[in-house]
Structure 1
Amino acid sequence: MKKLLPILLIVLGIGGGAGAGLMLRPAPQDMVSIDPCGDGTAVADAGHASEEAHPPEEDAEPVEREYVKMNNQFIIPVVTDEKIGALVVMSISLEVDIGGQQQVYAREPKLRDAFLQVMFDHANVGGFQGAFTNSNNLDVLRSGLLNVAKKVLGPMVSDVLITDIARQDA
């Protein structure tokens, strides 16, 4: 009997949480997502007609950017006390002018070298220690990466996106 009461309370708690979640869930027609790779217009939730999505305006500025994913991840050692204390693995994409993909891939070795130097410097000043995903830390890193990307590729690069980042402590 003593074991039945905690089990009953757990079941009631789970049921109450699920019921509250269902009651507070937004109505499906209210869910709208933005397609980041599309033309920038809102797209209705998959289970509903696209009548709720707004058609593109006649005067809307056409998308003049494309995203280029770097072929391989970047692996950055984090050195503490003369030993490798962690490894940081990052994936990066570049926002470039339409048609800039071939230029990015043609200069990828030089770009990777420049990116690695920025990442090594960031690691050496403690950028990957502690709360390394803090927005201030990542903003500093993105800014450095954007600066070297513009040096290598010119003004065709408008942004550097960190698409994946993970740290594995040794």
Structure 2
Amino acid sequence: MGKIFPIVLALIGLAAGGGAGYFLKPPPAPEIVNPCGDVGGEDDSQSDPDVIAHADVDSEFVKINNQFVIPIVNDEKVTALVVLSLSLEVSTGNREAVYQREPKLRDEFLQVMFNHANTGGFDGVFTQTSRLTNLRRALREVATSILGAVVHDVLVTNIVRQDQ
């Protein structure tokens, strides 16, 4: 009897859990029916919610290959390192142009980030929106000066600060 009791309790608990799940499941999503019927000539991606369509934005994202490492210097000593990963949002078809100009982009981006670090941009709450907005704006200006109007935005995809 002592060995059967835990098994019976487990079976009762399993049945109660299954019954509760069956009766408490959410109702099925209502099917959306087009009252005009299937209209020909529509792009299926517009009606599929899993496909994100950006008809007004024709851009692609280009990841800058290597991370950027920026030293934080206080009293002539490196007190921390900031590691950043960046991507560029550019007009479609300009991926190769970004990779061809990547050495120049990296050099100019590093200069902007060094200036940001020297003015205290990576001190304290360095992920504050206003600080990152200023950094992104400066990076976008540099990218636009190198690549032209094909650059839409600069995205900070990863940022880490390692104190020494």
Please report the TM-score for the alignment, with normalisation by the length of structure 2. 0.69
Q: CA RMSD in A?
A: 2.7
Preserved contact between residue 66 and residue 96 of structure 1 (Cα < 8 Å)? yes
Cα offset for 1:146? 0.2
Aligned to 1:96: 90
Q: Aligned with 1:132: secondary structure?
A: coil
| Structure having the higher Rg | 2
Distance 2:89 2:125 in 1: 26
1:10-159 to 2 correspondence within 5 Å? Answer: 53=49, 61=55, 63-159=57-153
Distance 1:99 1:85, change over 3 A: same
Partner SS for 1:130 = coil
Cα distance change of structure 1 residues 54 and 120 upon mapping to structure 2, 3 Å threshold: closer
Counterparts in 2 of 1:55 and 1:71: CA distance versus 1, 3 Å: closer
Task: Figure out how many residues of one structure are paired with residues of the other and give that number.
Answer: 124
- Partners in 1 of 2:162 and 2:113 — Cα distance? 16
Aligned counterpart, 1:161 = 155
1:99-146 Cα offsets, whole Å, 9 max, x none, are 110000000000000000000000000000000000000000000000
Match of 1:4 in 2: none
Q: Does structure 2 conserve the Cα–Cα contact (< 8 Å) formed by 1:41 and 1:54? A: no
Instruction: Mark the CA change 1:55 to 1:169 in structure 2 (over 3 Å): closer, same or farther.
Output: closer
Give, in whole Å, the separation in 2 of the partners of 1:163 and 1:29.
37
CA distance in 2, matches of 1:127, 1:95: 23
Distance 1:80 1:98 in 2: 42
In 1, distance between residues paired with 2:96 and 2:137?
A: 23
2: distance between equivalents of 1:105 and 1:154? Answer: 14
TM-score by length of 1: 0.66
Percent identity of the aligned residues? 53
The CA distance in 2 between the partners of 1:28 and 1:115, in whole Å, is: 52
Structure 2: where are the runs of 5+ without partners?
1-25, 30-44
**CA offsets, 1:5-25, max 9 Å, x none?**
xxxxxxxxxxxxxxxxxxxxx
